[in-house]
Amino acid sequence: MIMIDKKYIFDFLRDLKNNNSKEWMDAHKDRYLNAKDRWMEEVALILERLTKHNPFFAQFEAKHTVMRINNNRMFHPDKPIYKDHFAFSPSLKTHPIAHIHITAGLSWSFLGGGLWAPEKSVLKQVREAIDYDGEALLKIIGQKEFQKIFGGIAEDPKRLKSAPKGYSRDHRHIDLLRYNNLTAQVPLTEEMVISDHFVDFVEEAYLVLQPLNDYLEKALSVA
């Protein structure tokens, strides 16, 4: 097994958070590139492992899945110039389902996947699938391993308080129908990320998450 010194990544992120300026970053660009390279090495190992289970991941190179460290301040000028985390997001703009996403940093670290901020037409299809066969989704999220790792469907800040249009409040699956985002997430500690077994954990979590993504995929494939 390839061992990567990922503690270096978090040490860099802590210094960046305490010195969040372009001047500091310019003076420590070599450290940033070193930390980024180590994260990409880890990402490459994750991609290699996940490709064994899903050929979807074979189309990605590590460098194309690592998100920019600069914050987009166009609409949020109060944000710091740089993020305090690295992320891994092997996704396609044309595909609404996140097979897996990892954020590893100081303020918030997590692994997750599922459906986030879908277009109305996509959400409509998923709700139709729940209306038709919500029992299958309940079975997935009720599995022992799913509950152990993810604890169920993640909290949704956009979840409706009432029934969505076209559905009754007493629908047997109203709790599921109220979701606008159907995701599963598990928090990550720094110790987990820097451990030599992080790739193993990511693989395990992905395999537990996959039935949820398969359910969503099937919902969107129905004409």
User: Cβ(173)–Cβ(134) under 8 Å?
Assistant: yes
CA dist., res. 8 & res. 41, Å (int): 13
State how far Cα 82 lies from the chain centre.
20
**CB distance 176 to 137 below 8 Å:** yes
Q: Which of 153, 178, 176, 155 is nearest to 165 (CA)?
A: 178
CA 220 to chain centre: 19
Question: What pLDDT, on a 0 to 100 scale, did the predictor assign at position 59?
Answer: 95
Which pLDDT score, from 0 to 100, does residue 3 have?
A: 66
Decide: helix, strand or coil at residue 205: helix
Question: Residue 188 and residue 221: Cα distance in Å, rounded?
Answer: 32
* Residue 194 token pair: 């820097």
State both tokens at 206: 């992905």
Domains of the chain, residue spans: 7-221
Phi, psi for residue 31 in degrees, rounded to 5:
-65, -40
Q: Which of 140, 102, 103 is nearest to 217 (CA)?
A: 140
16, exposed or middle or buried, with CB in 10 Å at 0-12, 13-18, 19+? buried
Q: For every one of its 223 residues, what pLDDT tens digit does the chain have, with 9 covering 90 and above?
A: 556 889 999 999 999 999 999 999 999 999 999 999 999 999 999 999 999 999 999 999 999 999 899 998 888 889 999 999 999 999 988 889 999 999 999 999 999 999 999 999 999 999 999 999 999 999 999 999 999 999 999 999 999 999 999 999 999 999 999 999 999 999 999 999 999 999 999 999 999 999 999 999 999 986 4
> How far, in Å, CA of 103 to CA of 84, rounded?
10
Outline where DSSP puts E strands in 8-93.
Answer: 85-88
Q: For residues 104 and 9, is the Cβ–Cβ distance under 8 A?
A: yes
Q: How far is CA 102 from CA 108, 112, 177, in A?
A: 10, 7, 26
Residue 63: DSSP 8-state? G
